[in-house]
A = this chain, B = another copy of it.
Amino acid sequence: MAPQTPPPRRTPLNRDRVLHAAVALADRSGHEALSMRGLAQDLGVVPMALYKHVANKEQLLDGMVDVIVGEIEPPAAGAHWKNAVRGRILSARRALLRHPWASRVMESRPAPTPGVLGYLDSVIGAFRAGGLSADLTHHAMHALGSRVWGFTQDLFPAPPDDADAGEPAGLPGEMAARYPHIASIAAIAASRPHDGDSVVGGGCDDQFEFEFALDLLLDGIERLHRQGWTSAG
């Protein structure tokens, strides 16, 4: 008799394999489908095995955030501060768009991870390198809010695909009657192409809307900077 073959030895688990498997699972099945048990099954392992590599689910989510932050491209050197900030934010947006669950997970973290702090530090650094005061930069960061990550909370969720296509524009007739002002701008929204699935959280947070708002804020900040604005005066 040949000696019993040992049980198949999988490549041993480590934190990185766990984190990347979690990202892959969330990419495939969405944020709400990400459970410790489901992740363990993906890795061919019993749920408890994960707890040797991440302390708990919160730490798993923190680790996933840093995986995504790691995908943001390094800053461009030598650009004007407005272009430097703009470029950094649009790169973050591209990373977040690759992982539709990422914005929601990001929002859910009670404390910033090292990766998050590093990215924020670099954005602040870009403002300061342009000569903006610490005061103005502080308020600029608050004004940008989640937009520094390249996403925004959307207010008009995308209507379901089976929405009545025979309607004049945007909204079904009953709703248009009840919410006339929404109907008036929904007609505009329906008449311009939105980029279908490159959407964070559904709706029409497309590239045009994002850059419109980003530039509105950056232009306003630039104007205050040139006026020598301070929060004291």
A212 with B157, Cβ < 8 A, contacts A107-B107, A179-B117 known: no
The answer, yes or no, to whether A77 is at the interface (CB within 8 Å) is: no
Residue among A117, A139, A185, A224 with most chain B CB within 10 A: A185
Looking at chain A's contact residues, the main secondary structure is helix
Q: How far is A185 from B154 in the complex, measured between Cα atoms in Å?
A: 29
Residue among A134, A175, A181 with most chain B CB within 10 A: A181
On chain A, the number of residues with a Cβ less than 8 Å from chain B's Cβ atoms is: 55
Q: How far is A154 from B153 in the complex, measured between Cα atoms in Å?
A: 12
Stretch at the interface among A17-25, A44-52, A89-97, A202-210: A202-210
Task: For A37, list chain B residues within 8 Å (CB).
Answer: none
Q: Are B180's CB and A121's CB within 8 A?
A: yes
Residues of A within 8 A of B (CB): 107, 110-112, 117-118, 120-122, 124-125, 128, 134-135, 137-139, 141-143, 145-146, 148, 152-157, 175, 178-182, 184-185, 187-189, 192, 202, 204-205, 208-209, 212-213, 216-217, 219-221, 224, 231
Q: Tell which of B155, B178, B179, B220 touches A146, judged by Cβ atoms closer than 8 Å.
A: B155
Closest to A114 in B: B178
* A130, chain B: closest CB distance, angstroms: 12
Number of chain copies forming the complex? 2
Q: Are B153's CB and A153's CB within 8 A?
A: yes
Q: Tell which of B107, B142, B184, B208 touches A128, judged by Cβ atoms closer than 8 Å.
A: B184
Q: Tell which of B117, B138, B204, B220 touches A188, judged by Cβ atoms closer than 8 Å.
A: B138
Closest to A185 in B: B138
Q: List 19 A-B contacts (CB under 8 A).
A: A107-B107, A107-B153, A117-B175, A120-B155, A120-B156, A121-B180, A134-B188, A135-B188, A139-B213, A142-B152, A142-B212, A143-B209, A143-B213, A143-B216, A145-B154, A146-B152, A216-B220, A216-B224, A220-B220
Given A120-B182, A142-B155, A142-B212, 20 additional A-B pairs, CB 8 A: A111-B157, A112-B155, A117-B179, A117-B182, A124-B184, A134-B184, A135-B188, A137-B184, A138-B185, A138-B188, A138-B189, A139-B213, A142-B152, A142-B213, A143-B212, A145-B155, A146-B152, A148-B155, A153-B153, A216-B216
